[in-house]
Every structure is written in C-alpha cells, then in structure tokens.
Amino acid sequence: MICRRLAQHDFESDTLHVARMLLGKYLVIRHGTSTLSGCISETEAYCGEEDKACHASKGRTARTEVMYGPPGNWYVYMIYGMYHCLNVVTEPVNRPCAVLIRGVVDVKGLPQPLKTDGPGKVCKAFGINRSYNSTPAYGSQADMWVEDRGVEIHDNQVIKSPRIGVHYAGEYKDKPWRFLLSEHPA
C-alpha cells in the first residue's frame, strides 16, 4: 500500500485539479500521542480574485493573506462566529486560490463517531481551529497533513456540481467546482 504525505508541489497545480485530486486522499491530524484520519470525500475549489465566491475576490486582506502565500499551507477561517472551515492553498504565490475540505468519511481515531459531512463538522470532529492557519499541510514536521494511501478514484466515482451557499457570486455561483465521491472508495 502506498502511504506518503503529499508534498508542497502537489498543491501548486491548478485549483480545480487539486480539488479533484484530493478526493480519496486522507486528512490526518496529530494531537499529542493520538492521531485522527479520514478519507476526503468532498471538496470545493475557489479560484482567485476573479471568482466572486472566493474570499480573495475583495483583494488582499489580513484574512486572505495566507491565500497569497505559498501553496500547501492551510487556510482556516471562522464562519457565523462559531464554525471553522479548512482549506488548503493552491497555485503559485500571489495567485490566491484554495480548496475547501467539505467532507471526510471513514474517520479513524475518534472516541465516538461524529458527523463529518460539512466543513464545520470536519473541523469540529478533527479539533481544527485557527491555530492551524498558515501552517504547512506537508512535510514531516506538520501536525496536520494530507496523505496518499493509494486509493484510486475514477471519474465515474466523482460528482461535479455547483458550490454550496454561493448564490451571491454572479456567474460564478453555477460553476461546477464542487467535487464529491459518489460512493465510498474501496
């Protein structure tokens, strides 16, 4: 079985490619001596300042600064004042793009099963908060990373649809930039 942490260059590609590529990869987080992991089952791509649904559409701000930085860093923010959302920065420096991790399945390491079928639920189950913002999603020193465990996802296992909750984004609201697994990978 292949089991390797993704490298920084894996995140430098086109955001739509990375969003699709992350399906079937594993989100892994280390909390002290315990480790949680789960298979990424749903993602959404946010593609630069021109994408009206992307946080960077309003330009460079303190919140979005991480998106302008190196690919492969985590972008963690809070919505509704209570839920964290986990993204990984993609594309080269100064091209503010990211992939939102919307869902994870087959979670291992939790003391009790928790729902992980939404970005806030993923962060709650994995104990992800803003302390992970701007930290690398790669490398042996990372406490949270993406791992390739050799799960092959074929195109007929992937559903593409418009992103959720971006009705305000004009022509960008209907872009099929949400990717989800149609079935649990074997």
List, in order, residues 6 or more apart from 170 with CB less than 8 Å away: 52
Predicted confidence (pLDDT) per residue in 133-150, tens digit: 999 999 888 999 999 999
Split into its structural domains, the chain has a count of 1
- What is the pLDDT at residue 69? 96
Judged by average pLDDT, the poorest of 107-111, 158-162, 172-176 is 107-111
Domain membership of residue 156 (yes or no) is yes
In the predicted model, is pLDDT for residue 185 greater than 90? Answer: no
Domain holding 152, by residue range, is 4-181
Predicted confidence (pLDDT) per residue in 98-131, tens digit: 999 999 999 999 887 888 999 999 999 999 999 9
Domain membership of residue 45 (yes or no) is yes
In the predicted model, is pLDDT for residue 184 greater than 80? Answer: no
Domain membership of residue 95 (yes or no) is yes
How does residue 11 score in pLDDT terms, banded at 50, 70 and 90?
Answer: very high
Domain membership of residue 186 (yes or no) is no
In the predicted model, is pLDDT for residue 186 greater than 60? Answer: no
| CATH code for position 29 | 3.10.300.10
Domain membership of residue 57 (yes or no) is yes
> Which is nearest to 67 in space by CA: 118, 101, 59?
59
Encoding tokens for residue 131?
């302390």
Domain membership of residue 158 (yes or no) is yes
Domain membership of residue 56 (yes or no) is yes
Scanning the chain, the segments in alpha helix (DSSP H) are 15-21, 119-126
- What is the pLDDT at residue 158? 97
Give the percent of the chain with pLDDT over 70: 98
> Which is nearest to 28 in space by CA: 180, 158, 142?
142
